[in-house]
């Protein structure tokens, strides 16, 4: 029995838990030493991770695959890093498709501004790695990554990612160091993606982090939910939407969505409670400054209308999803599981359903199905729009 049955549910956020050294298989040999020296993450397999890897070959452990599907997390989860197991995972989950993001390469190893040339090599290696993982099943929709630190290189990396089979391209939500994400020099990138019918995606990990000084409060050190300080605490969680708030506003105010009206943008694992106030704040800024700014006078709609037309977001399962939907737009929200990350929880559908009790069937269908199809464009094959169990044969 699958986790979800009798309905179409598209998962806008899932992950591969690549082993730390996996990226080395896809890097050009000439840059491996420089990558190891400059990457902000280790490329060695710890003893604890070796134990998790060994369990995937243990018959007694694997005998519990079905029963433990939603309970095992990270490298212990079925199909977390072994691509051959991921089709079975999807069968058991019952999701019609999954967007698949990296885990180890979120933020492109901190290289985008530190070393743009190496950042491009790392992005290209990631794109090959993720497309390989997803190649085992058409339901797995690979995402690629495009650094924006070098304006002229972005279209070339995007073209290569599309040719590899990536179904959506991730860019950082943080602004590049020397130019805006809305820089007119990036228009060839937006034109390329609009023509291909593929979305621009943002994912948590690409934002500007909260200053480390906030952690020095004179009291006891606060650890994250994994027991370390690499992930978010209750305080640093608050900084997650700040970069995407600014970047999407720049893209709208500087006319990118006006010039490319068919281009879709998705904010994944960046929360959504901020969206209603962001839309209202954009409109307020538009009204306050449009008489004096030529760029705002060129816009044919209010900023919030561009967001409704072209921007899609995934709320966290602990957020008030029904309230967000009621105060933004029914066409903007997407379901996501975050499988197999701990943050996704053991029963994400139930948690969302509890928040959607007052939402009508049409808008619930939009949340689980229609909005994802709209976001993905040609990145989702028409044969995958509905679950096979619901398709006449």
In this structure, are residues 172 and 147 in contact, taking their beta carbons and an 8 Å threshold?
yes
CA-nearest of 1, 157, 132 to 70 is: 1
CA distances from 60 to 51, 65, 73, 78 (A): 14, 10, 17, 14
- The candidate with the shortest Cα–Cα distance to 235, out of 253, 250, 216, 260, is 216
Confidence at residue 211, expressed as pLDDT on a 0 to 100 scale: 84
What averages of pLDDT result for each successive group of 10 residues across the chain (393 residues)? 95 98 98 97 93 96 97 97 98 98 97 97 98 98 98 98 98 97 98 98 93 84 62 83 97 98 98 98 98 98 98 97 97 98 95 96 98 98 95 65
Dihedral sign for Cα atoms in the order 184, 185, 188, 189? negative
Query: What pTM did the predictor assign?
Result: 0.95
Determine the pLDDT at residue 233.
84
The fourth-level CATH superfamily of domain 10-17+93-204+240-390 is Metal-dependent hydrolases (3.20.20.140)
Structure tokens at 232: 């978010």
CA 234 to chain centre: 21
pLDDT of residue 223: 73
Quickly list DSSP for 49-98: HHHHHHHTT-HHHHTTTTTTTTT--GGGSTTSS-GGGHHHHHHHH--SEE
pLDDT value of residue 222: 77
Radius of gyration of the chain (CA): 21
Q: Report domain extents, the chain.
A: 10-17+93-204+240-390
Q: Where are the alpha helices (DSSP H) in the chain?
A: 32-38, 47-55, 59-62, 86-93, 116-134, 154-164, 187-196, 242-253, 256-259, 275-289, 294-297, 303-310, 321-327, 348-355, 361-365, 371-376
């Amino acid at each position: 029995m699958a986790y979800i049955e009798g309905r179409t549910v598209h998962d806008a956020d899932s992950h591969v838990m690549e082993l730390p050294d996996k990226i080395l298989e896809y890097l050009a040999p000439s840059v491996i030493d420089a990558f190891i020296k400059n990457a902000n993450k280790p490329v060695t397999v710890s003893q604890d991770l070796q134990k998790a890897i060994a369990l995937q070959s243990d018959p007694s452990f694997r005998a519990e695959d079905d029963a433990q599907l939603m309970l095992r997390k990270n490298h212990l989860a079925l199909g977390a890093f072994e691509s051959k197991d991921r089709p079975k995972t999807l069968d058991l989950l019952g999701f019609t498709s999954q967007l698949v993001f990296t885990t180890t390469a979120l933020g492109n190893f901190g290289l985008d501004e530190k070393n743009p040339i190496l950042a491009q090599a790392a992005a290209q290696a990631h794109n090959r790695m993720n497309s390989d993982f997803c190649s085992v099943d058409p339901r797995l929709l690979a995402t690629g990554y495009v650094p924006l630190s070098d304006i002229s290189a972005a279209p070339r990396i995007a073209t290569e990612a599309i040719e590899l089979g990536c179904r959506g391209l991730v860019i950082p939500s943080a602004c590049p160091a020397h130019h805006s994400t809305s820089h007119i020099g990036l228009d060839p990138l937006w034109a390329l993606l609009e023509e291909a019918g593929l979305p621009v995606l943002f994912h948590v990990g690409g934002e500007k982090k909260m200053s480390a000084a906030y952690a020095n409060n004179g009291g006891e050190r606060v650890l994250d939910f994994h027991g370390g300080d690499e992930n978010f605490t209750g305080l640093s969680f608050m900084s997650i939407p700040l970069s995407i708030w600014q970047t999407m506003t720049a893209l709208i105010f500087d006319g990118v969505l006006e010039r490319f009206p068919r281009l879709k943008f998705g904010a994944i694992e960046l929360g959504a409670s901020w969206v209603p106030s962001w839309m209202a704040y954009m409109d307020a800024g538009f009204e306050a400054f449009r008489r004096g700014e030529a760029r705002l006078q060129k816009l044919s709609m209010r900023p919030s209308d561009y967001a409704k037309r072209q921007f899609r977001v995934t709320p966290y399962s602990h957020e008030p999803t029904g309230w967000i939907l009621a105060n933004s737009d029914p066409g903007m929200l997407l379901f996501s599981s975050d499988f197999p990350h701990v943050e996704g929880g053991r029963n994400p559908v139930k948690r969302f359903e509890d928040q959607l009790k007052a939402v009508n069937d049409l808008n619930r269908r939009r949340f689980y199905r229609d909005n994802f199809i709209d976001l993905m464009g040609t990145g989702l094959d028409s044969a995958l729009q509905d679950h096979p169990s619901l398709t006449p044969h």
